[in-house]
Structure formats: C-alpha cells, structure tokens
C-alpha cells in the first residue's frame, strides 16, 4: 500500500464583479450629540451627559468603576470602541464608536428631532450599516444619505428596535447603569443590545462618495433613538481576484496563484494569511504587499500546519483597492522533527494514523485509532491486531532528523489483550514497504491494563540506524490485540529507571521491597516513595527513603498495620539527576497483635478491621455476619434504643434460605493478654424467633440457633460458652478465662449454628455487640473465694464438683450466671454439688442459711 500524506487544497470559488464585501467603518467627524457611555473612574452622572432611555439608564464601558476600589466589571462595551458584529450574514463587519470621553450618540427623543452625522472620509458604498438602539421602546426613523455631489437618497420607515430582547443585534449583554444612584445591571449576558440596521444604496448612487447621513425620528411613540456608528460595504470597480489551486507545498512554504477578472490589470496585489479562518477587512494589514505578478511563494511557514489566505487587487484606475478574495486554504508538508509527543486525542477514530505518520497493512490485519477502554490518557490510542494467519501491521512514525544521533529513545505506554504478547520496535527505510523493516527490540508486553506497574516501555535507538530511516512499531500476528498511547521521541535520560518492583515479608509495621536494576546502575543508588494514595509521584515529589549503596532491596519501616499502601522506585544518578518513578505496586500490611483492654462496638457498617467473617461450609457472601442496618430492628423497641447497624447480626430471613453451612463465624484479631491477672471476655447478645413459618425440618423447630464462644491460644479452639435460649432483649455475658491463659495471645470466635441439619434458614435473628477482653471486673486472681460464718466453697476454680464446708448450716444452694439467671437450685444440699453440666465461666453460688442469713460466693469453673 502506497503511503501518502494528504494536504488540504483550495476550494475554488468564482468571483463575479464586485462580489466580495469590503467592509469599512466610517469615522464620524461631527453630529454626535450625547455622551451616554460611562467609562473610567467616577460616578456615572459625571462620566456621562445624559441617559439612553429617558429614564436615567446609561451604558457602561468595561473599564468603568464608580471609584478606584470598585471591583472590575466582567461586562461592558469594548474599551477601544471596536464592535465586531455577530450578525452571521456579514462576517468581518465591524464598527468604530466615538470616544467614550465625549459625545458618542446621536440621541433623538421626540418626533421630528433630527441630526446629521458627517464622515471624516467620504466613501462610496453598496450598503450602509447603522449601529443603533432605541431606549424605552422601539422607534422609527427616516435616513437621508448625502453624497459629495450635493445629491441625496432618502430611506423611510427605518425601524430601530427596543434595546432589550429584540433580534438582529450586532452586540449584546454589555450592561447598564442608573445615573441617579450608580446601581449597575449586568443584563445577564444578553442585554442591553445594539442593532445592525441595513441601508441599501441605489445602484445609481453606489459610485458616489457619501459625505453624511441625516437621521430624523418619525415615530410618535416614547422610544429614544440612539445612533452610535456607521459602517459601509464600500463600493469598488476594482474586482478581487479568483484563487487557483495551491501549488508546491513544503514544510515551510506554499506556492499560491490567482487570476484577475477578465479585462482588468491591477497594478499589484496584497496577500494576507493566518492559521485561523478570521477574514481580513479593509483595515487589516496585509502579510505581503505589492506583489506585481499573479503568483507568490509564501515563506517561513510551520510544518504540518493548516493555513488560510486571501488576496486583493490594487487597481490603477477608479477606486484603487478591491475587497479581499474568498479564502483559500492549504496545509504545509510534514517536516523533519527532532522531538515528538503524540496522544492521538486530536484525531477521529478509524483506520488512520496521525499526520506525518504512515501505516503499512500487507493484505490483511487491522490498525486503527481506537477509543476502546481502558486508555492510558484521554480517550484514544493506537490499536493493532492480526490473527495467526494474517500479516502483522506496521505503524511508521514521522521522520526524525536525529534518528541516528544515539542520543534519543522512543518511549510509550502499551498493553495487550491477553498476557503475554510481543510488540516489535524497529525502523523502515521505505515507509510504504514492510519488507524494509529492521528489528531493533522486541518488547514483552505482560500488562493487560495501562494501570499496571511497568506499563511504560522504552527503546534506545543506536547511532547505527540509517539517517533516512523512520522508526516503526509492528504487532505480532498471534490473535492478540495490542494498544499503545502517549508516544514520545525524546532525549534519553542520563538516569534510567529500575523495574520489576515487588514486595515481600509484609508485616504489620514493615515490608520488604526489591527491584531490578537498569542496564546502567545509578551512582547514588535508589529512592523509594510510598503512600496510602495511588496518586503517582512527580519529579518534584520528595522521596520517602533511599536504599543503601547499590543494593536492589530494602525494608520500609514505620507502617500502619492493616493498611493498603502503594510504592514506587527510582534511580538517583546524582543529587540532582533522578530517573522517572517506576510503579506502582500495592500491598496491605498485616494486622497487629492488639493489646488489652480490647473493645469492639461494631459502630461502622462493615466488618471491623482485622476481624474474620467466614462460613466454613459455603462461599456464598450472604451466609455471613452482617453489619449494616437491620431492618427488623432499626425502629423496634426490642432494639432497646440501639441504632440499626451498630452491632453485628445474623439474619433469620430469606438471604439465608437454601443450602449452606450450618455455621457462621466471626473471629477477633490476635489479642495479647499480658497485663491481665484475671482475663475476662464479655459481650452482649440478643436473640428472637423469626417471623417465618417456612421450614425444611419436620416437625418445625424455630428456637434452634445456638451462639457459641470459643478461644484459641495456639493450642486449638476451646469452647467457653454456648446458649440457644431466646429472650427478645439484650443480655450481658461475662466469661472469666482460666489462669492458663494469663499472658497468652488469643483469638475469640463467635459462631452462630443452625443446630439442626437440613434447615434452610437460620430461624432466629441473633445480634452481637460490645465485645471486650479485659481484666475481670468481678473477681481478681487473689479473690478466688469468700467466707462468712466459716462457710467455704472449694476448690475455686473448680472442674465439675464444688465442695461446701459446714454444710449442716446450709438450707439451700442456688447457682446463677453473672447476669442473675438461675441455673440450678439444690435444697438440703450435701457437701458435694455436681456442676458438670455447666460451661466454663464465672458463676455466683448463693448459700441460704438455716438461720435465715444469705451468703454469695463467686466461683470459676474451668
């Protein structure tokens, strides 16, 4: 496929005699009667002589301030008095208003009021355009056009619209001011308005210079006519030339030519050119003047740039200057570049490459500018694809004048649809012939998204590359999609970045990082940066730390446990010369072992940090403890005023229906009990029946969910407590730990068990709150027994049997938990009380004596 760069060419537009407009402002030498535009610093009553509308409102210039401390205006008439008309049918038409320091309006208040505006330079015209408005209502005027030969032309019924909201305006939204109190009104960007009023000159009068116009108000309505300026579509018998097709284009020049109308031989021509399509007017200074032929080569242009140009004739007889021609356009050729950045954002999507690039597709394969996400920046990037039976596609970069200087490299970001792929970077000596491709480096593309660390690739171009070569990027014909973006041709840095940053040995407060050194190791070692934000550091970012010498690994200390971090690495070739940052990688520090006292109130609607929420028999996320608001209890009195979502809970309702594990487990972080002489676990729980009547168990069993509390000190889980009872209220539970746990590191596990195999539901709502691990508030280690009246309870702690001394004095024994719930009562007890059915924990032993007294002893069961 032959490669060609398309350059814009001129669209030919034929010019008939006197076809192009030649707009000229007509400067007014006399006839303005009122200053109605406030400007400069000072009250509007001082900087104007009267109002526009007869009701105290005047216009404002953008430089107006009531006093020197007033805020500058964001609206107002142009300070220089130049009004560029926004009327679409007269592009390039402008007006020059009179000085704002003197009279600047011909104001006509009453019927038959009249005034004459005399022009500094009499000018023949096809048309006149009057810049005017009418305050406090529309008005009608008659305009008499006075020529230098003492003849005139009268135009009647000329309508002047009210200064607010009418159509046909040349300018709008410049605001106004009340002359009586200096109150400003912005007009919201749309009012007041000055209108463009067309006055057609009869054909018989078009060659006559216009000396003045006389304006007479003819309407009886209130509207106050104000005329500010006049412009002309100037008459000329010097006709503009017709542009020809653009000739030779180079990176810095363009050959243009034109044809004058038949029968005319201008003395010379003027040329105006620009990178914008804003048409010149009669007052525009030409770019080139006095060209005597009908062709010209424009020099000093920028490569690969769009230009617009116009030509006008300077005739030797009659009115000496034509209007400007219709515009032509061209685009200069691509030049030799020494640097480049391309992000593809200024191009449409499709089977193209940027200007000055080339594409080679040998029969098949695909190459486009694509918007397929993700992209590296903006919305577009290059896409290349070939199946295993197709040919690779080749994208050829612009011509670089320093390609073999040995000082530059090609750098870009890339990704592949399926890891791992290969992009080949090389050069061609013929941008239309893929067989001239010479490989420089094969890049292994492992990342499938740009956000992955290591998404940027670079190729150093050696000095052995031919001077006429052009760099090229070629995909592999492997059925994988290749994308690349943000392509640079730039001077290679003196300090190259390391790569392949990884983390290891991630602890609660530290992490090890390591990386691969660049081909040229930096003299000053490496610097790293880490953050809890993934915002990439810049060249100006201060490093978090540095490695020692030439080492390619280090340890980052002082991190916060259970926190996600991002890290980058760069080379330090000197104190001032650093490479780009390589990264990021991400890691999450481990959970720390927590000290006592430990407390968790579940006040956030998420799993608490470092807790484990698990279901041993199911991967279904619904079969877990929940922490967001419980709809059943958010406004329920049974919630005892506790807001929804400030506890952990297991739901009895439909999210748990169907097959699943019998158990849902919630496990604390590691907790070190050092410092506690009598360790103690406490919590509050709530349980009630579900409203559901569904069951897969016959007979139906609703009161079956069991809460179990276990502890693990590294020797396996030991059950401390369990309960299946309902209460429909919050209940506190306290569990003393045996002396063997003193100083140990433990985890506590709360398990909700359906308790009946085959149940499709957890039939009871179960809530958990205020979990604590702390010193036993009821019984210290030294307080293992209590004796009154010589009654002793022993051993304490006990295993299964509790002995009571002086049993002949005891009438009955009652055993309760710490919440006061009665667990067992023995009347006329014997010395040995068998409590083997109780779980481990703290209990109250209430001794009722035969003499009517009562004694309570705290006892611990191991």
* Span 724-743, average pLDDT: 85
* Span 284-290, average pLDDT: 94
**Torsion, CA 134, CA 136, CA 141, CA 147, rounded to 10:** -30
Phi, psi of 531 (to 5 degrees): -160, 160
**Torsion, CA 649, CA 655, CA 660, CA 662, rounded to 10:** 30
Contact 639, 633 (CB under 8 A): yes
* Span 785-812, average pLDDT: 81
Residue 239 is given by DSSP the state P
Nearest to 201, CA basis, from 129, 127, 118: 127
Q: Is 641 a residue whose pLDDT tops 70?
A: no
Q: Which residues pair with 689 in a beta bridge?
A: 764
Contact 483, 382 (CB under 8 A): yes
* Span 273-278, average pLDDT: 94
Q: Provide, rounded to the nearest whole percent, the portion of the chain with pLDDT above 70.
A: 88
Q: Is 472 a residue whose pLDDT tops 60?
A: yes
> In terms of pLDDT, which residue wins out, 97 or 646?
97
Cα–Cα distance measured from residue 797 to residue 313, given in angstroms and rounded to the nearest whole number: 117
Residue partners of 523: CB distance under 8 A and separation at least 6: 572, 573, 574
Q: Summarize pLDDT for 570-582 with one digit per residue, the tens.
A: 999 998 899 989 9
Q: How many CA atoms lie within 13 A of 139 on its CB side?
A: 30
The pLDDT of residue 756 is 53
Q: Which residues pair with 370 in a beta bridge?
A: 381
Q: What DSSP assignment string belongs to 132-175?
A: EEEETS-EEEEEEEEETTS-EEEEEEEEE-BTTT-S-EEEE---
* Span 811-822, average pLDDT: 80
Structure tokens at 819: 């919440």
The pLDDT of residue 526 is 96
* Span 263-288, average pLDDT: 91
Q: Is 850 a residue whose pLDDT tops 50?
A: yes
Q: Summarize pLDDT for 41-96 with one digit per residue, the tens.
A: 999 999 999 999 999 999 999 999 999 999 999 999 999 999 999 999 998 899 99
- pLDDT grade for 317, boundaries at 50, 70 and 90: low
**Torsion, CA 258, CA 261, CA 267, CA 268, rounded to 10:** -20
The pLDDT of residue 844 is 87
Q: Is 110 a residue whose pLDDT tops 90?
A: yes
Question: What number of residues does the chain have?
Answer: 862
The pLDDT of residue 544 is 97
Structure tokens at 597: 């006292």
Q: Which helix (H) or strand (E) holds 457?
A: strand 456-460
Residue 723: count of CB within 10 angstroms of its CB: 18
The pLDDT of residue 659 is 45
Phi, psi of 655 (to 5 degrees): -55, -20
Q: Is 692 a residue whose pLDDT tops 50?
A: no
Contact 371, 332 (CB under 8 A): no
Q: Is 785 a residue whose pLDDT tops 70?
A: no
Q: How many CA atoms lie within 13 A of 205 on its CB side?
A: 21
E strands in 19-108: 23-26, 28-30, 37-38, 57-60, 82-84, 94-96, 106-108
Residue partners of 321: CB distance under 8 A and separation at least 6: 22, 236, 238, 282, 312, 313, 314, 315
Termini Cα distance of the chain? 89
- pLDDT grade for 12, boundaries at 50, 70 and 90: very low
**Look-up of token digits 């907790």:** 671
Contact 393, 365 (CB under 8 A): yes
- pLDDT grade for 669, boundaries at 50, 70 and 90: very high
Contact 300, 252 (CB under 8 A): yes
Cα–Cα distance measured from residue 207 to residue 124, given in angstroms and rounded to the nearest whole number: 5
Q: Summarize pLDDT for 34-47 with one digit per residue, the tens.
A: 999 999 999 999 99
Of 318-332, 502-516, 531-545, 786-800, the least confident = 786-800
- pLDDT grade for 702, boundaries at 50, 70 and 90: very low
Q: Is 549 a residue whose pLDDT tops 60?
A: yes
Q: Is 459 a residue whose pLDDT tops 50?
A: yes
Nearest to 109, CA basis, from 144, 137, 146, 129: 137
176: Cα separation from own chain's centroid: 39
**What SS3 class is residue 304?**
coil
Q: Is 779 a residue whose pLDDT tops 70?
A: no
Q: Is 820 a residue whose pLDDT tops 70?
A: no
Cα–Cα distance measured from residue 764 to residue 711, given in angstroms and rounded to the nearest whole number: 24
- pLDDT grade for 633, boundaries at 50, 70 and 90: very low
pTM of structure: 0.52
The pLDDT of residue 790 is 67
C-alpha gyration radius of the chain? 46
Cα–Cα distance measured from residue 702 to residue 691, given in angstroms and rounded to the nearest whole number: 9
Mean confidence (pLDDT) of the chain? 88
Q: Is 629 a residue whose pLDDT tops 90?
A: no
Phi, psi of 395 (to 5 degrees): -105, 125
Domains of the chain: 23-234 (2.60.120.1380), 248-331 (2.60.40.10), 340-491 (2.60.120.200), 502-588 (2.60.40.10), 598-775 (2.60.120.200), 793-861 (2.60.40)
The pLDDT of residue 663 is 81
Cα–Cα distance measured from residue 129 to residue 510, given in angstroms and rounded to the nearest whole number: 79
What value, to the nearest 5°, has the Cα angle with vertex 580 and ends 578 and 583? 130
Q: Summarize pLDDT for 646-668 with one digit per residue, the tens.
A: 888 876 653 444 444 568 899 99
Structure tokens at 394: 């080749």
**What SS3 class is residue 739?**
helix
Lateral strand order in the sheet of 37-38: 37-38, 57-60, 176-178, 184-185
* Span 238-248, average pLDDT: 93
Longest alpha-carbon distance in the chain: 148
Q: Summarize pLDDT for 16-36 with one digit per residue, the tens.
A: 334 457 889 999 999 999 999
Q: Is 452 a residue whose pLDDT tops 70?
A: yes
Q: Which helix (H) or strand (E) holds 46?
A: helix 44-47
């Amino acid at each position: 496929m032959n490669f060609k760069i398309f350059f814009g060419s001129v669209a030919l537009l034929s010019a008939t005699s006197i076809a192009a407009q030649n707009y000229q402002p007509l400067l007014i030498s006399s006839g303005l009667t009122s200053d109605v535009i406030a400007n400069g610093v000072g009250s509007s009553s001082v900087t104007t002589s009267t109002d526009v509308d007869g009701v105290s409102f005047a216009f404002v210039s953008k430089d107006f301030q009531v006093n020197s401390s007033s805020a500058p205006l964001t609206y107002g008439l142009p300070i220089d008095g130049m009004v560029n008309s926004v009327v679409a049918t007269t592009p390039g038409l402008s007006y020059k208003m009179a000085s704002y320091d003197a009279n600047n309006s011909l104001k006509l208040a009453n019927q038959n009021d009249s005034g004459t505006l005399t022009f500094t330079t009499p000018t023949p015209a096809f048309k006149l355009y009057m810049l005017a408005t009418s305050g406090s209502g529309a008005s009608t005027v008659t305009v008499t056009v006075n020529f230098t030969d003492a003849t005139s032309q009268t135009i009647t019924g000329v309508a002047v619209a009210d200064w607010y909201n009418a159509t046909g305006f040349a300018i709008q939204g410049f605001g106004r001011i009340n002359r009586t109190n200096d109150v400003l009104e912005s007009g919201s960007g749309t009012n007041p308005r000055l209108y463009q009023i067309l006055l057609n000159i009869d054909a018989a009068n078009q060659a006559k210079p216009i000396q003045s116009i006389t304006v007479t108000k003819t309407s009886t309505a209130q509207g106050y006519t104000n005329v500010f300026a006049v412009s002309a579509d100037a008459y000329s018998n010097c006709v503009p030339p017709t542009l020809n097709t653009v000739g030779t284009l180079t990176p810095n020049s363009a050959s243009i030519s034109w044809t004058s109308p038949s029968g005319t031989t201008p003395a010379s021509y003027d040329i105006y050119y620009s990178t914008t399509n804003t048409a010149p007017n009669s007052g525009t200074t030409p770019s080139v003047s006095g060209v005597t032929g009908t062709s010209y080569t424009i020099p000093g242009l920028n490569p690969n740039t769009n230009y617009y140009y116009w030509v006008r004739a300077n005739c030797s007889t009659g009115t000496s200057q034509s209007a400007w021609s219709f515009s032509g356009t061209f685009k200069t050729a691509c030049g030799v570049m020494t640097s480049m950045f391309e992000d593809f954002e200024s191009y449409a999507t499709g089977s193209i490459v940027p200007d000055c690039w080339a594409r080679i597709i040998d029969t098949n394969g695909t190459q486009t500018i694509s918007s397929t996400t993700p992209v590296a920046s903006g919305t577009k990037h290059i896409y290349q694809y070939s199946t295993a039976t197709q040919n690779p596609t080749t994208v050829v970069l612009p011509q670089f004048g320093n390609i073999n200087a040995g000082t530059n490299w090609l750098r870009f970001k890339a990704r592949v649809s399926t890891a791992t792929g290969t992009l080949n970077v090389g050069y061609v000596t013929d941008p239309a012939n893929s067989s001239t491709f010479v490989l420089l480096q094969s890049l292994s593309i492992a990342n499938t998204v740009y956000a992955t660390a290591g998404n940027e690739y670079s190729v150093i171009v050696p000095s052995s590359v031919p001077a006429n070569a052009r760099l090229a990027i070629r995909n592999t014909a492997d059925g994988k999609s290749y994308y690349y973006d943000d392509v640079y041709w730039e001077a290679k840095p003196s300090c190259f970045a390391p790569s392949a940053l990884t983390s290891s040995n991630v602890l609660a407060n530290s992490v090890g990082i390591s990386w691969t050194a660049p081909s040229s190791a930096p003299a000053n070692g490496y610097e790293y940066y880490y953050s809890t934000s993934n915002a990439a550091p810049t060249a100006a970012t201060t490093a978090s730390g540095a490695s020692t010498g030439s080492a390619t690994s280090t340890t980052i200390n002082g991190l916060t446990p259970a926190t996600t971090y991002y890290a980058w690495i760069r080379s330090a070739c000197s104190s001032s010369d650093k490479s780009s940052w390589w990264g990021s990688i991400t890691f999450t520090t481990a959970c720390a072992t927590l000290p006592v006292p430990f407390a968790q109130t579940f006040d956030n609607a998420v799993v608490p940090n470092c807790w484990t929420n698990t279901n041993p028999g199911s991967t279904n996320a619904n079969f877990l403890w929940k922490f967001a608001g419980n709809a059943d209890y958010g406004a329920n009195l049974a919630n005892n005023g506790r807001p929804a979502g400030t506890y952990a809970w297991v739901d009895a309702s439909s999210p748990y229906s169907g097959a699943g594990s019998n158990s849902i487990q919630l496990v604390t972080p590691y907790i070190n009990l050092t410092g506690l002489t009598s360790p103690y676990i406490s919590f509050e729980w709530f349980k009630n029946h579900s409203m559901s009547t569904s069951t897969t168990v016959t007979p139906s069993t609703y009161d079956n969910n069991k809460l179990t509390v276990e502890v693990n000190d590294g020797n396996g889980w030991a059950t401390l407590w369990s309960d299946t009872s309902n209460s429909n209220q919050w209940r506190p539970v306290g569990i003393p730990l045996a002396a063997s746990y003193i100083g140990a590191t433990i985890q506590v596990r709360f398990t909700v068990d359906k308790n009946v195999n085959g149940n499709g539901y957890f039939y009871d709502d179960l809530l958990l709150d205020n979990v604590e691990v702390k010193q036993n508030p009821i019984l210290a280690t030294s307080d293992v027994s209590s004796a009154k009246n010589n009654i002793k309870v022993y051993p304490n702690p006990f295993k299964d049997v509790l002995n009571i001394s002086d049993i002949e004095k005891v009438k009955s024994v009652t055993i309760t938990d710490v919440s006061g719930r009665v667990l067992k009562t023995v009347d006329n007890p014997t010395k040995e009380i068998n409590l083997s059915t109780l779980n481990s924990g703290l209990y109250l032993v209430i001794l009722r004596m035969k003499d009517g007294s009562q004694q309570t002893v705290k006892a611990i069961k191991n």
